Structure 1
Amino acid sequence: MDGVIESNPAIEGEDFSRVALAPAAGELLAKLWARNGPLMFHQSGGCCDGSSPMCFEAGEFKTGDADILLGRFALPDGEGAVLGELDFWMSKEQFAYWKHTKLTIDVVDGRGSGFSLEAPEGKRFLIRSEIIEFPAG
């Protein structure tokens, strides 16, 4: 994977990506997908591990009315094919604080939550954010 992977917009009326994957995150996700099958992310509020994006097998984390789908990735396998779609969910409460930001999921060395699928790899996902400048109009 040469560059950042942008998500497809998922919020009604929006035509821009709110979430991206850094190359290292895309590579780790392809490895996790090969081992676990389809995946998803959920970003909740809170402290400690609750403020990190959590990677689960698709459907393992039950989303509902308190969550919003921010983006859907066509996850590449590194060979030019697509493994499948990976959804990025966030709690609506957290989105209220972060609605003016573009999020990039990255990965660093270290242990995150034992519940997130990357933990056994000695890695953890994290969010890098930047302010979105909305077009006038």
Structure 2
Amino acid sequence: MDAVLQARPARPGEDFSRVALTAPALEMLEKLWDRNGALMFHQSGGCCDGSAPMCFPEGDFITSDADVLLGVFELPGRGEIGFWMSAEQFAYWEHTLLTVDLVNGRGSGFSLEAPEGKRFLIRSTLMG
């Protein structure tokens, strides 16, 4: 699970990345961007698939003060993808580096990769 792209820090005062992508996740995002335009991630922290990162067309999921922008991926040749997490979930995950990976299988959510028979998955590593 080697990360190939680190997100630019987005939280005030932070100079380190909290979110990264694996090669398969990056490849899927490029495909989804070409099909849907600008994208965003949101991880709610709900039960079951609600705790998986969900990919939406930019703006299709409305964020608020109850969400935290953890980082911004710069997709080469395309644009930026923000990675949002509910503030409540972030309270539990604030000491981890989150790596977005892509695996076989369909989640039960509305994430854009689902029709491909794939789903995004978070792999976490404690930050030291």
TM-score (norm 1): 0.90
Q: CA deviation at 1:113?
A: 2.9
Q: In structure 2, what is the Cα distance between the partners aligned to 1:114 and 1:3?
A: 25
Give the aligned partner of residue 90 of structure 2: 95
Q: List gaps (5 residues or longer) in structure 1.
A: 77-81
Give the aligned partner of residue 125 of structure 2: 130
Q: In structure 1, what is the Cα distance between the partners aligned to 2:20 and 2:94?
A: 15
Q: Does 1:117 align with 2:112?
A: yes
Q: List gaps (5 residues or longer) in structure 2.
A: none
Give the aligned partner of residue 36 of structure 2: 36
CA RMSD of aligned residues (A): 1.2
Q: In structure 2, what is the Cα distance between the partners aligned to 1:102 and 1:110?
A: 24
- Which amino acid in 2 is paired with 1:101? T
Question: 2:68–2:85: 8 Å Cα contact kept in structure 1?
Answer: yes
Deviation larger for 10-19 or 107-116: 107-116
- Which amino acid in 2 is paired with 1:89? W
TM-score (norm 2): 0.96
Q: In structure 2, what is the Cα distance between the partners aligned to 1:72 and 1:107?
A: 18
Question: 2:50–2:109: 8 Å Cα contact kept in structure 1?
Answer: no
- In the comparison of the two structures, how many residue pairs are matched? 127
Q: Where do 4+ consecutive residues of structure 1 move more than 6 Å?
A: none
Q: CA deviation at 1:47?
A: 1.1
Q: In structure 1, what is the Cα distance between the partners aligned to 2:20 and 2:7?
A: 6
Matches within 5 A, 1:16-55: 16-55=16-55
